Structure 1
Amino acid sequence: MPKIRPISDLRNSANEISAYCRSECEPVFITKNGVGDMVVMSIEVFEQQQALIKMYEQLLATETEIKSIEDFRSLAKKLKAGVQEKVQLK
């Protein structure tokens, strides 16, 4: 269950929020006037999330590259088959 705290707790309980974020490896959602405003998390968790995002971006780029290679191979096979067919007809 997410931890939700009012923005005033950043001023009054910053050390407690910091300790929670580090010990639980969970973010704390901060509200302002009863509405979600920001998220506080440990640097370690933030860096892990950024690393995951970068890894997913690299995976997507690799998958796209592999698909283009497979498309090229398919096209090359069709062209080769067409050339072989024309050579056999002569």
Structure 2
Amino acid sequence: MPQIIPIKDLKNTSEISQMCQASDEPVFITKNGYGDMVIMSMKLYEEKMFMLDVYGKLIAAEEQITEGKVLDGDTSLKRIREKYNV
């Protein structure tokens, strides 16, 4: 369940930091009862950005397959072996 806290609680920095480190979800900050910001630990941020990159690459690969931009595996390996004398 997401954690939601009011912006006035941000003055308790060590408590907020512990909350972010302990959670595997972002912490949502509200201002005047409305969503204003989202904070998370660096570890969670890096994990989310990595997965976003992976999903982006998968989408691009699926688009290439749909467009017929595919290569024959055997031919590609043969070219690589010839190029690098492997």
What interval of TM-score do these two structures reach, taking the shorter chain for normalisation?
0.7 to 0.9
- List gaps (5 residues or longer) in structure 2: 70-86
Match of 1:23? 22
Q: Which runs of 4+ in 1 moved over 3 A?
A: none
**Aligned partners of 2:9 and 2:21: how far apart in 1?**
17
Match of 2:37? 38
**Aligned partners of 1:59 and 1:26: how far apart in 2?**
24
Identity %: 46
CA RMSD of aligned residues (A): 1.7
Alignment of 1:9-88 (within 5 A): 9-11=9-11, 13-69=12-68
Match of 2:7? 7
- List gaps (5 residues or longer) in structure 1: 71-90
Aligned-partner residue type, residue 46 of structure 2: E
**Aligned partners of 1:10 and 1:28: how far apart in 2?**
11
- With normalisation by structure 2, the TM-score equals 0.73
Aligned length: 70
